[in-house]
Chains A and B, each alone.
Chain A
Amino acid sequence: MKLWRWLWLLVTLGVLAEGFRVALFVVPPDSAQGNVQRIFYYHIPSWAGMGLFFAINLGCSLVYLAVRNRNEALAIKADSLAVASAEMGVVFCFIGLVTGSLWGRAVWGIWWTWDARLTSTLVLWLIYVAYLLLRRFAAGPQMRTLAAVMAIFGYLDVPLVYMSTRWWRTQHPAPVFGGAPGSGIDPSMMPAVWWNLAGWLMWGIFVASLRYVSEYRAQKTEQAEALKSLEFAPGQTQMAGGRS
């Protein structure tokens, strides 16, 4: 298991290095924006990662709600994966916001604007931060249930973010992939997109898997301790009863 993880990390670093090389030195600069456009190769993978991990979070939350009373082992696994993927999604969302902001400063001349895409994305980030906060403010199985419900609410914002550039006239550029006819980028730029997409998703999966394992162990330990204290309880009440 550990060997696999090391191998995965090595391959990931290799792909990221290749992605960096292709994005910065191989593909041609954008005809209109010049070299600034190259941040796109980091912007897109962040959103792809965010989309992937928030979807995993939603799936795990649904699984948790469905099996929490029937299959505790599976429920704990689903909940641990939900936490790991939410944290990873928040990180990707943050990187996406930062890369977008850097690009905006260079191209628009401003760091931030309150158009529909940027606002809804920031709100999405806030919602998932609130999700992680909720997990800290409550405890035990009831917290997991509440968090799973919260995750469903959080995910309702994702379609809004995705459609915002289609529904409204935003300052954010129109969709590059899957947008109007004729959208998309020059085929000569695609290698940079593919390498970075693969590299950053692999990186995300690596970090999320580490977080999953640590969260799973923490929850197992917590459960074992709770069971242990329950086992001790009858003896103690007996003793207390004997004394009285």
Chain B
Amino acid sequence: MKPAYFLMHLKKDLQLEWRSKDAINSMLFFALLVVVLFSLAFDPTRAVSRQIAGGILCVATMFAAVSALNQAWARELRNQVLDALRMTPAPAASLFLGKALANFLFVMVVEVVLAPVFVMFYNLHALGNAWLLLLVLPLGTWALIVNGVFFAALSIRTRNRELLLPLILISDFYSSAAGDGDVGVGDSDGGNRIRCLWIKMLAAYDVIFTTVCMMLFEVILHAE
């Protein structure tokens, strides 16, 4: 039996990344730069810096992801691969899902590598909110990636696409970023109720946007 179409797309993207390691390397380096820059901007030994560390992690990943997402579809433009993909009998949604899953994995790798560095640099308590982070990180990352891959496809055919993607993505991602940052920072007296609400919000956001993206991706792909 043939594997599902989206698994084939996923496999292709993982293979590409395994050979070139473009996305992960550039993201890692970029995120590391952001971390270092923030430590210059805010005194990292102060208590305040520890409180905003979650936000910094969120921002660093986001900027890094945007830099990689710009390339997510651009690499398909070479040799007219994108046109070939458009002519395959596979549904457009599966192409989107494969691409989104691949990029989700790349960004998760970056986050997993980056998180210990973060804990080290900002003197965080390694197991403070670990279980919460395990829940929030994938949810927030998926929210970012699902929108990012979609808008990257949307802006691929426009002028100034490097500028347009962050413009659209950051304004749209903001609603989930607010939740992401809030839970990530999650001080102990914040109250579990509010935190639960944010996590539910984030999950709802993921479900809604994944659905809408998959429904509308065909329109984007064939927009001529």
Contacts and interface: CB of A to CB of B under 8 A. Distances in A.
B120 interface: no
A120 B172 CA distance: 10
Interface stretch (A29-37, A131-139, A223-231): A131-139
A107 interface: no
Contacts of A133: 164, 167
Q: How large is the interface on B (under 10, 10 to 19, 20 to 34, 35 or more residues)?
A: 20 to 34
Contacts, number: 69
A142 B175 contact: no
B216 interface: yes
A138 B168 contact: no
Nearest to B224: A142
Interface residues on A, range: 20 to 34
B159 interface: yes
Instruction: Give the residue among A116, A145, A167 with the most B Cβ atoms within 10 A.
Output: A145
Contacts of A134: 154-155, 158, 164, 168
B74 interface: no
B87 interface: no
Given A142-B223, A153-B172, A137 B160 contact: yes
A156 interface: yes
B157 interface: yes
Interface in A120-168: 120, 123, 126-127, 129-130, 133-134, 137-138, 141-143, 145-146, 148-150, 152-154, 156-157, 160, 167
B220 A149 contact: yes
Contact of A130 (B161, B167, B197, B209): B167
B158 A127 contact: no
A146 B158 contact: yes
A64 to B, nearest CB: 11
B212 A141 contact: no
Interface in B121-178: 154-155, 157-161, 163-164, 167-168, 171-172, 174-175, 178
A120 B223 contact: no
B208 interface: yes
Given A134-B164, A138-B157, A146-B157, A152 B216 contact: yes
Interface in B187-224: 197, 208-209, 212, 216, 219-220, 223-224
Interface of A: 65, 116, 119-120, 123, 126-127, 129-130, 133-134, 137-138, 141-143, 145-146, 148-150, 152-154, 156-157, 160, 167
